[in-house]
């Protein structure tokens, strides 16, 4: 790839937003690789680390790194709010002409940043990174995530790129529009697609975790399931029609079945009345419970939205405007 050419007198400012929780084993290597990449480019940069209330030495390590590089900035959450909320906090306080956001586990290589910037230079507002391989992950986990993407795209009003994760570049105008949405419990991967503008894709092989263990195991953490539900309910009302379609289907089936019973009775075939009634009641009861559950999810999202609580609360900010800020609520 050719070296990017920018105005020598006015270098673009590139913001990199990193969400993390308990990543003391990864942060030194992540910072080293980010600095190595960004210092080799004709750009200015800021590294915004959003600390989701880590309980290890992550913050202490970042403070030490900041003594050596004042481009490192830190946002500390008042408690754990989640990956998307941390990204949104970092995006809100970023100043870059382009903003790259990523997780801290080094599965997404910082060395891909020059390619993302090249796409931005060519006019893209949003650059998705698409995983062609997911190293270090078992077949079943990969299958489940691929299936989740397909189901979300099947019912959603927008299409999310298959195998696109939380490693993207956004232009300044894309960031500004995204921050205007102010949704409670946002499905960030979908919102980035929803805002539009010119969107392109870059393909890469995702690496295994550099160190430590995932904070979102498939079966032990509720976050993957929550993210799936956000994807389904944020951009589609199709599940709400489930009870209507099921009602027509069951009604038609019941009519056919009653016709069969009537004919069987006429020609002398004996059927157990209790078994028939029990089967029909169980079937209808299951359909009703599923319908109520789907409605409950949407009503629950409405309930939390009308409470108008903030998506996150910041405990302190370090390195912004040359001073520390504390107890800032958003």
**Tens digit of each residue's pLDDT (9 = 90 or more) over 222-268:** 566 666 666 566 656 666 666 666 766 776 676 676 677 677 777 77
> Dihedral (C-alpha) 74, 79, 84, 86: value to the nearest 10 degrees?
-10
Provide CB contacts within 8 A for 158, sequence distance 6+: 190, 193, 194, 235
Task: Give me the half-sphere count of Cα atoms (radius 13 Å) on the Cβ side of residue 255.
Answer: 6
Alpha carbon distance 170, 15 (integer Å): 10
Q: What is the pTM of this model?
A: 0.69
Alpha carbon distance 233, 309 (integer Å): 19
Distances (CA, A) of 14 to 10, 48, 115, 130, 163: 12, 11, 13, 21, 25
Alpha carbon distance 249, 152 (integer Å): 24
178 three-class SS: helix
Sheet holding 313-320, edge to edge: 199-206, 126-134, 164-171, 98-103, 13-20, 44-51, 72-77, 313-320, 323-329
Which pair of structure tokens corresponds to residue 62?
């970042």
pLDDT, position 105: 86
pLDDT, position 3: 46
**Tens digit of each residue's pLDDT (9 = 90 or more) over 268-290:** 776 666 656 766 676 677 677 77
For residue 26, count other CB atoms closer than 10 A to its CB. Answer: 21
Segment holding 5, helix H or strand E: none
């Amino acid at each position: 790839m050719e070296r990017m050419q920018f105005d020598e007198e006015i270098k673009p400012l590139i913001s990199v937003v990193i969400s993390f929780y308990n990543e003391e084993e990864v942060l030194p290597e992540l910072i080293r690789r980010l600095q190595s990449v960004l210092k080799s480019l004709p750009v200015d940069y800021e590294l915004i680390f959003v600390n989701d209330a880590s309980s290890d030495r992550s913050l202490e390590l970042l403070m030490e790194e900041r003594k050596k590089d004042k481009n490192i900035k830190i946002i500390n959450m008042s408690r754990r709010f989640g990956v998307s909320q941390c990204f949104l906090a970092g995006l809100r306080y970023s100043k870059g002409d382009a903003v790259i956001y990523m997780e801290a586990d080094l599965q997404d290589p910082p060395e891909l940043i020059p390619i993302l910037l090249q796409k931005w230079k060519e006019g893209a507002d949003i650059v998705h990174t698409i995983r062609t391989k997911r190293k270090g992950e078992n077949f079943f986990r990969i299958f489940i995530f691929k299936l989740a993407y397909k189901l979300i795209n099947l019912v959603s009003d927008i299409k999310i790129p298959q195998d696109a994760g939380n490693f993207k570049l956004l232009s300044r105008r894309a960031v500004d529009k995204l921050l205007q949405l102010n949704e409670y419990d946002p499905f960030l991967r979908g919102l980035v697609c929803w805002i539009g503008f010119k969107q392109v894709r870059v393909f890469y092989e995702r690496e295994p975790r550099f160190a430590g263990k995932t904070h979102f195991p498939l079966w032990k953490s509720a976050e993957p399931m929550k993210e799936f539900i956000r994807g389904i309910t944020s951009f589609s009302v199709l599940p709400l029609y489930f009870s209507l379609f099921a009602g027509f289907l069951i009604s038609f089936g019941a009519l056919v079945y009653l016709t069969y019973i009537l004919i069987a009775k006429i020609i002398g075939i004996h059927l157990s009345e209790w078994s028939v009634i029990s089967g029909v009641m169980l079937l209808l009861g299951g359909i009703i419970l599923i319908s109520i559950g789907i409605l409950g999810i949407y009503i629950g999202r409405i309930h939390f939205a009308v409470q108008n609580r903030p998506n996150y609360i910041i405990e302190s900010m370090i390195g912004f405007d040359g001073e520390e800020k504390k107890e800032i609520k958003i």
